[in-house]
Amino acid sequence: MSDIVNRQWRLVARPAGMVQASDFEYREEPVPAVAEGDYLVRTLYVSVDPAQRGWMNEDPGYMPPIPLGEVMRGGTISEVVESRHPDYTVGDIVSGFLGWQEYALGSTGVLEAQTIVPEHPLPRYLGVLGGTGLTAYVGMLDVGQITEGQTVLVSGAAGATGSVAAQIAKIKGCRVIGIAGGAEKCAWLRDDLGLDAAIDYKGEPVSERLSALCPDGVDVYFDNVGGATLESAIAHMASGGRIACCGMIAGYNAAVPEPGPNNLFLLIARRITMTGFLVMDFAPRFGDARRDLSAWLDSGQLQAREDVQEGFENIPATFLRLFSGRNLGKQVLKVSDPTGTSG
Amino acid sequence: MSDIVNRQWRLVARPAGMVQASDFEYREEPVPAVAEGDYLVRTLYVSVDPAQRGWMNEDPGYMPPIPLGEVMRGGTISEVVESRHPDYTVGDIVSGFLGWQEYALGSTGVLEAQTIVPEHPLPRYLGVLGGTGLTAYVGMLDVGQITEGQTVLVSGAAGATGSVAAQIAKIKGCRVIGIAGGAEKCAWLRDDLGLDAAIDYKGEPVSERLSALCPDGVDVYFDNVGGATLESAIAHMASGGRIACCGMIAGYNAAVPEPGPNNLFLLIARRITMTGFLVMDFAPRFGDARRDLSAWLDSGQLQAREDVQEGFENIPATFLRLFSGRNLGKQVLKVSDPTGTSG
C-alpha cells in the first residue's frame, strides 16, 4: 500500500477563542507497510463533535490534550483494506479513533477491538448507535433518572445527542420541551420528533417561554449548552429536579471563560442535583443502550438524522459548522464509501 | 399576663442589597391572655442565621417570604411561663420558631411539639444540637457521602454549620481543610478543632493554597459561601467529586445577582455532582444525628462554640454580624435566663 497517500489534518495551533480553519494543517504521508500480525484500515466516515474542541486546549480535561503537530483526534468508521491479523478480514467495518486521517494501522491502538456488522447506515454508528446515542441514553436514564410523566427539558435539542435524548424521554412517557436555534430546527423537533414544545433561543425569550410552558417547573434538564440557557433552566427547575450536564458548547470557544449562572442558590432552595457525566464511565450500560436504541430505530419510535458533509478536504470546515449551529442532527463527514459499494 | 409587654422586631422593609438595621422596627404589644387548652412561652434564646436573609426577600424561596409588617421569623428556645394545656408545664423548655419576639402562644403554631430536656447548655439546642448541627450532619454524611481517607474541603468553616461539618469529616477519618476569614478563625480550626489545614480567604490566595494542599484534588466540598470560593473549589475538585451546597452567603446581600463560577464545564470533565439540600428534607435522620452529635460532644470528639450576644434590643445588630464575618461558631442572642436559674 506504500504507493498510496495518507491524507491528514493535523492540529498546528491551539485556538485562543473561536477555533479557525488555520488551526489545522493539511499533510500527506506515505501509508505504512503492514507487518505480520497487523492490519490497515481506511477511513470511511469521520465523526465531528463539539467535544473535540476541548481536546484542542492546552489544559488537560478528561483526556490529554492533542499534542501540537499531531493528527486531530476524532471518532471514525473504517474499513479493513489489508490484513495480516487473524481477527480481521479485508472488508470488515471497524469503529475507532483514527482521527482526521485516511489510513491507520491496527497496531497504533486507535481502533476499538470490536468490528461492526452493519444493520443500519454507517453514519449511524457514529451517531445514534455510537458515542452520541450512548451519551443520550445514559445521560437521560442513568444520570437524569427520568420517570414517566415528568417534564423534561433538553437544550441543543436538534443536535446529535440532544435529539436522541429528547426522543428517549418521549419514549419513556415524559413531557418534553426542546431548545434549539432557529425555526427550522424547532419545527423538526415538534413536527417530526413529536416533542411537546420547542423553544427557538435565537428568536424567543427562553425564560418567558419556560414560564409559560412549565408552570410547575422542569423535573429533568439535559444540558448540552451551558451559558445563558443553563441559567434560564435553573430558574425554572422544579423542587428536587435533576440537571444532567452533558456539554456546555456555549463556552467552548470563549477566549476568556464566561461567568456562570447567577442563580446557583436555587440549587439549594429547590434541592437540585446537577451532575456532570462522561459516557465513557458507563461502559457496562452500552449493551443495553445499543439494544434499546436499535430496537427503537427499527420500530420507528426513534428517528435519527445525520448531517453528512463530504470530502476529506472539508473536515475543518465541517467542524466549524458545529459552532455556528448549522448542523441538524449528528454531524459526520463522509470520506469514501466502502470498497465494492456504489455509495 | 396581660400587664407584661411583648417586645418584637418586625420586618418593615425588603433590603435592596445589604440588610440594614432600619429594615426592622421595634414594637411593643400586650401579651395575649391564655385560653383553655393553650399555653404561653417566653423567649430565652434567639437563633441568628444567614438563611433568615433569604426569607426577607420578596421572591419565594423554599419558604414563603416573611410578610412586611410581621415579626421577623427565626428559631428560638423558650420557656413555658403559663399553661392551660395538659402536655405543657410551667418551666418546660421548648424549641420553635417564635421569631424576634419575647412571648408567643402555643396555639400560634410557631412551636415544635417536642419539649427539650436540656443535658447541654441551652444555646447548643439552636446550634450543634439544633438546625445547624443537623444540617452539618446530613450535608456531610447523606449528601457529601464522605468515606474514610477522602480529602474534604469546607468553606465557612468557622461558622455554625461549617465548624460542625468539618469536625464530622475528621471524626469519619477524612483529611479536612477549612476555609475561613481571618487568622483567628484559622488558628481555631487548626489548633482547637484539629483540621489538617486552614485557608484564610481574606489573607491568602485560595486557589494557590488549594493547589498546594490538595495536589490530588478535593473529593467532597461542603459549600457554605458560594461565589469566588465555589469557583476556586470547583477548579480543584477530584474526578468523581461531590459538592454539597449548603449555603451561598457570599451572594445573600447582593443588590444584583452576581455571576456564578466560570468553570462549570469541569463538572462534566471531572464527573462532579453538585447537590443543593435543605435540612428539613432529612427529618427521618434527625434521630441518628442528635444521638451521634450528642455522643461526640460527650466524648470530646466534637467541639461546639457559640457566639452569644445579649439583649433583645440587640437582635438586628447581631444579625448583621453574620454578614461582616464577625461571628465565630453559632451566632445566638440571649434574651433572658430561664426562671429560677442564675444564668
- A187 touching B, CB under 8 A? no
pLDDT value at residue A86 = 93
User: In terms of domains, do A97 and A149 share one?
Assistant: no
A:196-255 residues touching chain B, CB 8 A cutoff: 226, 230-231, 239, 245-248, 251
The full DSSP string for A163-218 is HHHHHHHHHTT-EEEEEESSHHHHHIIIIIS--SEEEETTTS-HHHHHHHH-TT-E
B341 found inside a domain: no
- A261 touching B, CB under 8 A? yes
Looking up cell 434574651, which residue turns up? B335
Residue B9 pairs in a beta bridge with B26
Question: Which residue does chain B place closest to A256, by CA atoms?
Answer: B262
- Region A139-145 average pLDDT: 98
Looking up cell 446530613, which residue turns up? B138
Does position B112 have pLDDT exceeding 80, yes or no? Answer: no
Interchain proximity A273–B278, CB inside 8 Å? no
User: In terms of domains, do B39 and B169 share one?
Assistant: no
- Region B263-284 average pLDDT: 96
B342 found inside a domain: no
User: In terms of domains, do A116 and A182 share one?
Assistant: no
Residue B340's pLDDT band, with cuts at 50, 70 and 90, is: low
Interchain proximity B270–A230, CB inside 8 Å? no
> Cα-Cα-Cα-Cα dihedral of B295, B296, B297, B298, to 10°?
50
Q: What tens digit of pLDDT does each residue of B175-188 get?
A: 999 999 999 999 99
CA atoms within 13 A on the CB side of A310: 3
CA atoms within 13 A on the CB side of A239: 8
User: In terms of domains, do B122 and B189 share one?
Assistant: no
B343 found inside a domain: no
Interchain proximity B270–A62, CB inside 8 Å? yes
Whole-structure pTM value = 0.93
What CA–CA distance (Å, rounded) separates B48 from B50?
7
CA distance B242 to chain A (A): 9
- Region B300-320 average pLDDT: 96
What CA–CA distance (Å, rounded) separates A31 from A45?
18
User: In terms of domains, do A136 and A271 share one?
Assistant: yes
pLDDT value at residue B107 = 86
CA distance A137 to chain B (A): 16
Which three cell numbers mark A289?
A: 443502550
- Region B274-289 average pLDDT: 96
Among A32-41, B104-113, B310-319, which stretch is predicted with the lowest mean pLDDT?
Answer: B104-113
- Region B209-213 average pLDDT: 98
B248 CB neighbours in chain A (<8 A) are 264-265, 268
User: In terms of domains, do B116 and B27 share one?
Assistant: yes
Helices vs strands, H then E, count in chain A: 9, 15
Does position B1 have pLDDT exceeding 60, yes or no? Answer: no
B260 → closest Cβ in A246, A259, A278: A259
Task: Give me the CATH number covering residue A255.
Answer: 3.40.50.720
A155 found inside a domain: yes
CA distance A121 to chain B (A): 30
Q: What tens digit of pLDDT does each residue of A187-223 get?
A: 999 999 999 999 999 999 999 999 999 999 999 999 9
Q: What tens digit of pLDDT does each residue of A217-226 get?
A: 999 999 999 9
A315 found inside a domain: yes
Q: What tens digit of pLDDT does each residue of A79-121 get?
A: 999 999 999 999 999 999 999 999 999 888 777 656 888 899 9
User: In terms of domains, do B204 and B240 share one?
Assistant: yes
Question: Which residue does chain A place closest to B51, by CA atoms?
Answer: A269
- A147 touching B, CB under 8 A? no
Q: Of B49 and B112, which is predicted with more confidence?
A: B49
User: In terms of domains, do B113 and B150 share one?
Assistant: no
Number of domains forming the structure of chain B: 2
Q: Where are the beta strands (DSSP E) in chain B?
A: 5-11, 24-30, 39-47, 76-83, 93-96, 103-105, 111-116, 151-155, 175-180, 197-200, 218-223, 237-245, 273-276, 306-310, 330-334
* Dihedral pair phi/psi, residue B44, rounded to 5°: -105, -50
What CA–CA distance (Å, rounded) separates A49 from A45?
13
B236 found inside a domain: yes
A343 found inside a domain: no
User: In terms of domains, do A211 and A74 share one?
Assistant: no
- Region B93-111 average pLDDT: 89
Question: Which residue does chain A place closest to B223, by CA atoms?
Answer: A268
- Region A44-68 average pLDDT: 91
Percent of chain B with pLDDT over 70: 97
pLDDT value at residue A113 = 56
Q: What tens digit of pLDDT does each residue of B227-259 get?
A: 999 999 999 999 999 999 999 988 888 888 899
User: In terms of domains, do A107 and A147 share one?
Assistant: no
Task: Give me the CATH number covering residue B99.
Answer: 3.90.180.10
B78 found inside a domain: yes
pLDDT value at residue B342 = 35
User: In terms of domains, do B207 and B120 share one?
Assistant: no
pLDDT value at residue A63 = 87
User: In terms of domains, do A227 and A89 share one?
Assistant: no
Q: Which domain holds residue B46?
A: 5-126+305-334
Pairing of strands A330-334, A306-310: parallel
Average pLDDT of every residue of chain A: 93
